[in-house]
Structure 1
Amino acid sequence: MTAHTRRQNEKESAVNTPAIPTVTLNNGIEMPQLGYGVFQVPDAETTDAVAAALDAGYRSIDTAAVYGNEAGVGRAIADSGIARDELFITSKVWISDHGFDATLRAYDASLERLGLESLDLYLIHWPTPALATYPETWRALERLYADGRVRAIGVSNFEPEHLERLASEGGVVPAVNQVELHPALQNRAVAAANAQRGIITEAWSPLAQGAVLGDGSVIEIADRHGKTPAQIVLRWHLQQGRVVIPKSVTPARIAENLDVFGFELSADELAAVDLLERDGRTGPHPAEFNG
């Protein structure tokens, strides 16, 4: 697909796609509330997948160094013809690059792979508390932010005690904490700690990798609204103020996941989805890596 064709598709999509709402980060930056994640997408498939997402109307793309697909994301951005200031691009520094100098080098390497001059959001992917390196890594993110090289900084998979340590050492409050959160694992303590500090909660694996989509109550709500179970779960997230980054490589599902703004769940329906929480994770363990 040529850049011209993509721009034409973008114009046609914009006519039918509701505007994606934004959340205001604690530094005043606006972030799209619904974005597209590329966790577990091979680099060779990433360019087409991200191109489909951009054509559908997504403007926020979430990747990470450890995913191995930043280059694929960059190719899609370059081919899209979309102005850089219309996009919100997130990446993350991995455990192997923790530390002040190593993090600064990792940021430059991510930019090179993405073909960008800066990121909108840069996250510490995992705190690795056993190594106790995340405060030093955070200082590197603060330097990038102070130097104007990134618009906002944040963390991923941080528990309340990790946030408390950052707060005790002063400095910049994270803008975002990206954690596994879905109806089966609602991470209430983390979400509460985020809210207390003015940190936006961003949900990775927001659909529990499909594990909750066959639940009878979700299907019933979906039938009531003429929507799919996935759309119901995404709407559940959005109405509670979270940022979500669903992933699919199927163009029809990519577009479907964006069609969640023309209806609302009632208080009873939200409560019914809340009841799906159960013990245990449905995604990969974060000690390995996560989306």
Structure 2
Amino acid sequence: MSNRLNVLITGATSGFGRKTAEKLAEDGHQVFATTRGVHGKNADAVQNLEHWANERDLNIKVVELDVSDDQSVNQAISSILIEAGHLDVVVNNAAIVGLGPMEAYSIDQIEAMYNTNVFGSLRVLQAVLPSMRKRKSGLLIQVSSVGGRTYLPFHGIYNSTKWAVESIAEGLNYELESHGIESVIIEPGAFNTEIMGKFAAPDNSEIEEEYAEFNKAKEVMFGKMMKLITADSAPGPIWIADAIKKLVDMPAGERPIRTVIGEAATGGVRELNKAQVIAQRQHLEELGLGNWIK
């Protein structure tokens, strides 16, 4: 990869995406910060980011991209490729978070969460991969969650989307190796970002009320979590941006598939990842695919 990279980030006007856009632009890269509702619901956030970049003379261009819509994804990435010629790095960050009993979510709600978290990532990947394979170069970074490796009660739908995303991202790391493309995963713990106030509640409030343990678990969990993420020493979203920068700066072939970031709600995940590497190695060797071992 050259010193100045072309980077696409989804969900780039707030939280992890915003900090990552700022960090990589400060490093001298051309950042295509994508979001939906550029002239609608996210107009203020877009203007704020553009103003921030203009004041510092940094290369950030905001592009309309709704990961849940085929046409929007294809149009956005086509326009970026025409302008930039190619993309070096793609950061799939856009996501919906849910909290509530699985039974209480409507199928429409579940489909919407999968459409953004899972199919949204796949839409972006399928739109960028042909040009990356042609160049035999590229880095795909999936912002997942420790919830893609472990489970919290009443996060079942959200957790299942992240488990799917982790499987896709790891699978791509094997499938794309011969094409010179790496696929890696960032697994944040709990962070105090805007998404903490945007949990999608279930449609069926009557069923939700029948889960008395839900309110008890939520009270305990959020009480503990908020104490951890609002402490003076608590990490902020910049930790995710720094971790992504580190992956971007690493030489090809040296990047770990998974990187856990933060201390809140990450207990045991690093150890789980180490054990998974051993299990995956044994699985491949047993099936005669030892040459695919990372």
TM-score (norm 2): 0.35
**Rg larger for:** 2
TM-score (norm 1): 0.35
User: Higher helix share goes to which structure?
Assistant: 2
